[in-house]
Amino acid sequence: MSSLANSLNQVTAAGSQRPAALAGLELLASAVLLLDADGRIVYANAAAENLLESSLKALSRQTLSAQFLNPAELDNICAQAREHRYADMRQDLMLERAGREALHVHSIVTALDEPTGHLLIELREHLQHLKLDREERILDQSQVNKELIRNLAHEIKNPLGGIRGAAQLLEMELPALNAGELREYTQVIIKEADRLQTLVDRLLAPHRRPHIVGDVNIHEVLERVRSLMLAEFPSGLTIRRDYDASIPEFRGDKEQLIQTVLNIAHNAAQALAARIEAGDAEIIFKTRVARQVTLAKVRYGLALDLHIIDNGPGIAPQIRDRIFYPLVSGREGGSGLGLTLAQTFVQQHMGVIECDSRPGCTDFRILLPLP
């Protein structure tokens, strides 16, 4: 433990640095923090930064208790660990945070065998393994949907062409006496065949279009969508920006990403119709960097964490688990393709898209790997 003690002394003296002796902790998926004898944070690994939504520099020298609204149980565990020197203290905790979702974690607190009185704390989110399972199911379901759509679309296209052609031939053979009156019926057949053809083409669009890769600045994408949205909804809608300017460019298809964000934002605006009329509708574009993220079963050191948040009524519970399925829509007259296309484009970028919705706040989160 002497090397660890030396590292801790270096961190205490130098501030928010990452000691070489603790480099292995950066690879862990669970959050790990070191507290000094006064309960102040002297080290947090990347997973802890991600969990607490703050950097080591910002957390350094703050107490861990100050991060939560109800720290009593955690403080009690830490006190017992220091006092009794158990091998470790384990407890499930629900840690509330101001303006953010509560954390449901399994905590492991260990008093280090050092005279400095440091504590090692590990926090494991209960929802993490459920989230990974859900992402795997979404990927599998998406693949099934792609195959189903592709096969179904081709099966529909062939008879549609025959129906349209037959209606055109029938229209040419109509008797002159009743041609005008009967042509109305053939035109209905032709127009409906064209409408179904357009729908099929939209279903196949993401599979046909080439993936054009180039350097992408995500904030240019968001600004483009913002200008389009404000042009369509010039009054009653506010689009706020909460950007992390340090996010690097990455390789991707800019047009696909614009379409992805536009589809989500446009759905949000349509759900906000009543609030737009009242003048208090709001959409937030928020960007952050997430660390040590698993996307599609692959671990990435850095990922873009993009949120599109609105203050609308939320997604109806009966369709909440099916919003990314094709032809599922919560709006009267909606095609149910916007979110399906968004999910397809995000997955083509090796990312994931998920949604958390409740009345007054719907948050679409897009995670994309960064270089």
Task: Please give the structure tokens belonging to residue 290.
Answer: 């997430």
One digit per residue, pLDDT tens: the chain, 371 residues? 445 545 555 554 445 556 666 777 787 878 899 988 888 898 888 888 888 888 888 888 789 888 999 989 988 888 888 877 566 788 888 888 887 878 888 888 888 776 677 888 998 877 555 566 666 666 666 666 666 666 767 677 778 888 888 888 888 888 876 777 778 888 888 888 888 777 777 666 655 555 678 899 999 999 999 999 998 898 899 999 999 999 999 999 898 899 899 999 998 998 898 999 988 899 999 999 988 787 777 778 899 999 999 998 888 888 777 777 766 666 665 556 778 888 888 888 888 888 888 888 999 999 999 98
Q: What is the structure's pLDDT at 212?
A: 72
Q: What is the pTM of this model?
A: 0.57
Tell me whether residue 163 is exposed, middle or buried, using C-beta atoms within 10 angstroms of its C-beta: 0 to 12, 13 to 18, 19 or more. middle
Q: Show the tokens assigned to 367.
A: 């995670």
- Residue 148 CA: distances (Å) to CA of 50, 165, 202: 37, 26, 14
Structural tokens at position 229 = 């949205």
pLDDT confidence of residue 17: 58
What is the predicted pLDDT for the residue at 2?
45
Report the alpha-carbon distance of residue 146 to residue 231 in Å, rounded.
33
| pLDDT for the residue 90 | 83
State residue 156's pLDDT score.
Answer: 76
Q: What per-residue confidence (pLDDT) applies to 336?
A: 62
Integer Cα distance of 317 and 328 in angstroms: 13
**Among the listed residues 281, 230, 305, 272, the one whose alpha carbon sits nearest the alpha carbon of residue 46:** 305
Residues in contact with 259: Cβ distance below 8 Å, sequence separation at least 6, in sequence order: 341, 342, 345
